[in-house]
Amino acid sequence: MAKNNIFVEIKDILGKLTIEDLPIKGKRVFIRADFNVPLDSNLVITDDRRIRSTLPTINYAIDEGAKVILTSHLGRPKGKVEPRFSLAPVAKRLQRLLNKEVIFAPDCIGPQVEGMVSKMNDGDVLLLENLRFHPEEEKNDEAFARALSKLADFYVNDAFGAAHRAHASIVGMAKFLPAVAGFLLKKEIEYLKGAIENPIRPFVVILGGAKVSGKIGVLENLANKVDKVIVGGGMAYTFIKAKGYEVGDSLVENDMLDFAKNIADKLRKKNVKFYLPVDSVIAQSLDPGAETKIVTTQEIPKGWRALDIGPASVKLFSEAIQDAKTIIWNGPMGVFEMDAFSRGTFAIANSVSDAYALTIVGGGDTDYAVHRAGVSDAITFISTGGGASLQLLQGKELPGIAALTDKK
């Protein structure tokens, strides 16, 4: 039996129209995708998973005989044309993945682009240039949103990774066109919201990364819903210091100590099992050749800092994960980009992938860690949106989803 069968889908959890609800044959369909992919120094795409994840929506539109207009942002060009942030490499990769011509427009609005759209045949694919070459995109400028909308008959949002941004191509266009969800956006909401609202228990949440402040809302929102909370990464040492232990030079948010103490108390009162690292891999610097030691978390000496969870913590966390039926993981257990501090994160990646559970991984760093650990294929669902998935876990409404047309 596949892991995915553990997940009982909540019907119509999205509550919005999707691309399948539209009569798109012969129509101009504007698909807002998230093609914000990493590029190397030669402007070659190093990871195309975000492009691949939108292919079901693009292929559906092609098969239905729509004129497909694609757009995205890439990087942070700050409203200026910067060749290194051009979507030209995405057009090339898309052409290969779709096995058909992808026409590339030199801009995303204007008479030249309108002319290119007017010449499209049914089933053609046109990729527009980076939206963020225009400062009006991030300002959610109404005239810019209207100019984008002139290109199409229907608007489809399939950019979950940008759905928490109130930008012109995310919320502005929904004022001018029928606005619906693509398959990826729908899938993201079904998995993330479905897991929180109707989890199969035990429900375990694993949080890591640098700071408690970035995950406050998640901890507060999930305190009433989870059975176990595991905290690793830099944020763990704020909790450990809040318990009165010496953490040396480890990363600590001193202004979050009271919150850390209060949330730990709240979880205990709710009978939620709360796990922190019991040992750590420490070093005096992040230098690749620096000496490392493994010590208990109560014995981190001054001048040393915790940079990964230790083997006893790996064992403790892995045992806590073992009986889970729903797992959400956001944030690495240490500075996994460096070999000396990668073992904890990779071990947890293996434990999560081995669990007979619905497993959801969110956040760019965690996604990359799972990929590096070689277990991506064993994870039920890997979210394409870091900030967007965090907002959903905090129980917040995403502007890009709120803007879509409700199912009547």
Q: Where are the domains of the chain?
A: 19-181, 189-393
Q: Sign (positive/negative) of CA torsion 75, 77, 78, 81?
A: negative
pLDDT for the residue 355:
95
pLDDT for the residue 405:
94
What is the distance between the alpha carbons of residues 235 and 207, in angstroms, rounded to a whole number?
9
94: left (phi over 0), alpha (psi -120 to 50) or beta: alpha
pLDDT for the residue 11:
52
| Tens digits of residue pLDDT in 328-383 | 999 999 999 999 999 999 999 999 999 999 999 987 789 889 999 999 999 999 99
Residues of the chain with pLDDT under 70: 1-12
Q: How many Å from the N-terminal Cα to the C-terminal Cα in the chain?
A: 36
pLDDT for the residue 395:
87
DSSP 3-state assignment of 60? helix
19-181 against 189-393: fold identical: yes
* Tally: H helices and E strands in the chain: 14, 15
pLDDT for the residue 240:
96
pLDDT for the residue 217:
87
**273 has which bridge partners?**
228
What is the distance between the alpha carbons of residues 157 and 30, in angstroms, rounded to a whole number?
8
What is the distance between the alpha carbons of residues 117 and 151, in angstroms, rounded to a whole number?
7
- What the block records as the tokens of 247 is 């953490």
- What the block records as the tokens of 357 is 């559970």
- The percent of residues in the chain predicted with pLDDT above 70, rounded, is 97
DSSP 3-state assignment of 108? coil
Q: How far is CA 381 from CA 226, 323, 394, in A?
A: 19, 19, 19
Q: Helix 364-372 crosses helix 386-393 at what angle (to 10 degrees)?
A: 110
CATH code matching the domain that covers 19-181, chosen among 3.40.50.11540, 2.130.10.10, 3.40.50.1260, 3.40.50.300: 3.40.50.1260
Strands (E), 128-284: 154-157, 179-181, 203-207, 228-231, 273-275, 279-283
CATH code matching the domain that covers 189-393, chosen among 3.50.50.60, 1.10.375.10, 3.40.50.1260, 3.40.50.920: 3.40.50.1260
| Tens digits of residue pLDDT in 262-280 | 999 999 999 999 999 999 9
Picking from 135, 128, 134, 178, the residue whose alpha carbon sits closest to that of residue 157 is 178
pLDDT for the residue 274:
96
> Is the entire prediction scored with pTM above 0.75?
yes
What is the distance between the alpha carbons of residues 351 and 110, in angstroms, rounded to a whole number?
51
pLDDT for the residue 211:
86
Neighbouring CB atoms inside 10 A of 107's CB total 15
Q: Which residue numbers are catalytic?
A: 50, 211, 364, 387
Q: Which residues of 381-399 are buried (b: 16+ CB within 10 A; e: fewer)?
A: bbbbbbbbbbbbbeeeebb
Picking from 389, 404, 407, the residue whose alpha carbon sits closest to that of residue 160 is 389
One-letter amino acid at 93 equals R
What is the distance between the alpha carbons of residues 303 and 182, in angstroms, rounded to a whole number?
51
- What the block records as the tokens of 348 is 């947890």
- Which residue is associated with the tokens 């919320």? 171
